[in-house]
Structure 1
Amino acid sequence: MTDFPVEPTILVARIRQLERQHNSFKKYLLKLKHELEELTEKFNNHVEGESGDRLSATPKLDTQTPEFVNRLSDEEFQVERILLLLGFYADEEKIEKPAISAEEFKQRKNQGQKDFSGLNLAGINLTEEWLDVNFSKANLAQSRLSRCLIDSLNLDGANLKGADLSGVTTNHRSRKGYYPATMKEANLENANLNKAQLQCAILAKANLTKATLSEANLWKADLSGANLRGANLTKARLFNTTFGIANLEKANLNQALYNKETLFPPNFDITKTGAYLIAPASSLQKANLVGVILKEINLSGADLQEADLRGASLCGADLRGVDFTKADLRAANFNRADLTGANLTEAKLGGTILLGAKLTGAIMPDGTIHE
């Protein structure tokens, strides 16, 4: 007997499945029985056709089909036997409750239910929902959670294999009583977290094997002990992120952004990954920073010669003494940025926003010095 409750609907479905399996088994045994009988008849006919004492002494095969064949083919399953089989098959076929539909989930949530832990929500479509609920240990494989608000969302131990969490957002810092999303030990293998806003999220010991985290914001996220083997972290924001002893083998960190407060695993050489250190006096020559958001960042004294910053946002950034020689700054936003003493020689400024920017002593694209 199993040690967990079995709902009647699940039991009926399992009984029917076992009956189908049993019927197939009976048909197989009957076929085997007929084949044995045919083989026995052929053998005995062959023996009868042979002459000589040697062959006459050979005993005939008993035409009676072995007892176990008849017994197995005629045996009927009783309820006790079915319940025993439920337990027998538990290890090789996990019994799950029927999947909850999106409509049922929304109805329960609107009625005030917060605890959906352990439920089967595989494949559910909850796009753009506010998910301040408990999904711990729930089955959310292949689910669609894109662009959801995930303040206070609990996904600890949940199965999110192949799930779509692209563009999920968080606003917990401005919401009193809400906290960051937590995904400790969650299975996010092959999950899509492209452009996910995961600031302060807890992903300790999560399985992110081959997950897509490109352009994700992982500011102050906890990824200690996580498995990121083969994960795509291109252009991800890794400021103040903690990786601890995470597995970053074969992970793609090309053009990812990190700072000196980012904690990578011991012996992991971030300088060989193509990631960019965003810090004062950093070397970012020819860096591809198209569309990056670096508001109020400190890059004073950095080398950004020939860097591509088209459409980037550097509002309020400290850019004193930065070398932007031949950099592409078209459509970049430098609103309220401090560009005192910056070098903009031959920089491309088409559509660049410099409203409120400090340009004292800056060398302009035409070589003149701004007063």
Structure 2
Amino acid sequence: MLQHHKQNYSEVNFSGQDMRYGELIGCTFTRCSFTNGTLDEINSINCRFIECDFQGASLNGSIHTESAFENCNFSRSNLFSSKFVTCKMTGSNFTDSTLDGFSISKGDWSYTILRNARLVRQDLREVRFLEVDFSGANLEKADLRGADLTLASFSKAKLHGADVRGANMNGVDFKAFTISGMRLDKEQAILYTLSHGAKVD
């Protein structure tokens, strides 16, 4: 089994490599490429990935705990049943990624691109999604209670049955999506009303 403990890698090409069942602890990867690699069931703990490329990589069943993926590219990657626990994902791109069965536990996903992502019934409570691009995403019946959705983009997203009670939705354009079937709290209902030009006394 591949093991890396407290190692630093800069601009290393891991493309196409078989890294299945690997264990990464306290490592830093800067501008490394993992494109089309096999990272199924890999386990990362307290690692940092900076501007790394995971395009087309397979990360099925991988588990990431308190790791950071900053400005990484996950486009066309397979994240089926992967887990991200208290991770920092700021600025990462998940365009055309397979996210079925993956899970997020808290963490900071600010500025990520989750355009057209399938997030049906996902438990996304208390996750920080500041200025995230959810355009066209399917968030039906997703649990977003207590999440930070400040300035997030939901253009043409599907949110029927989604629960956003207690979430911060300041700056969200409520005219860009349909709220039918959503569970809102009073503050969000006021934001929705204001966004459509009404005055609330």
Contact 2:110 2:132 (8 Å CA) reproduced: yes
Q: Post-superposition, which runs of at least 4 consecutive aligned residues in structure 1 deviate over 3 A?
A: 267-272
Larger Rg: 1
State the superposition RMSD in angstroms.
Answer: 2.7
Which segments of 5 or more consecutive residues in structure 1 lack a partner in the other structure?
A: 1-102, 173-179, 281-371
**Percent identity of the aligned residues?**
20
Match of residue 228 from structure 1? 114
CA–CA distance in structure 1, aligned partners of residues 158 and 37 of structure 2? 35
Match of residue 162 from structure 1? 56
Deviation at 1:272, TM superposition (A): 4.5
Letter of the aligned partner of 1:264 in structure 2?
Answer: L
Deviation at 1:215, TM superposition (A): 2.6
TM-score (norm 1): 0.40
Structure 2 residue 129 is matched with structure 1 residue 129:
no
Structure 2 residue 147 is matched with structure 1 residue 256:
no
Number of aligned residues = 164
Letter of the aligned partner of 1:127 in structure 2?
Answer: R
Structure number with the bigger relative contact order (C-alpha 8 A, sep ≥ 6) is: 2
Match of residue 190 from structure 2? none
Deviation at 1:162, TM superposition (A): 1.1
Paired residue for 1:213, among 91, 95, 99?
99
Contact 1:215 1:235 (8 Å CA) reproduced: no
Larger helix share, 1 or 2: 1
Match of residue 184 from structure 1? 70
Structure 2 residue 2 is matched with structure 1 residue 114:
no
Contact 1:211 1:230 (8 Å CA) reproduced: no
Contact 2:134 2:152 (8 Å CA) reproduced: no
Letter of the aligned partner of 1:220 in structure 2?
Answer: K
| 264-273 vs 134-143, greater mean Cα deviation | 264-273
Structure 2 residue 151 is matched with structure 1 residue 266:
yes
Structure 2 residue 90 is matched with structure 1 residue 204:
yes
CA–CA distance in structure 2, aligned partners of residues 139 and 255 of structure 1? 35
CA–CA distance in structure 2, aligned partners of residues 223 and 278 of structure 1? 17
Q: Per-residue CA shift, 1:297-349, capped at 9, x if unaligned?
A: xxxxxxxxxxxxxxxxxxxxxxxxxxxxxxxxxxxxxxxxxxxxxxxxxxxxx
Q: Any idea what SS the aligned residue of 1:183 has?
A: strand
Contact 1:238 1:258 (8 Å CA) reproduced: yes
Structure 2 residue 38 is matched with structure 1 residue 153:
no
Q: Any idea what SS the aligned residue of 1:222 has?
A: coil
CA–CA distance in structure 1, aligned partners of residues 130 and 60 of structure 2? 25
Letter of the aligned partner of 1:217 in structure 2?
Answer: S
Change (3 A) 1:269 1:243: same
Larger strand share, 1 or 2: 2
Deviation at 1:204, TM superposition (A): 0.5
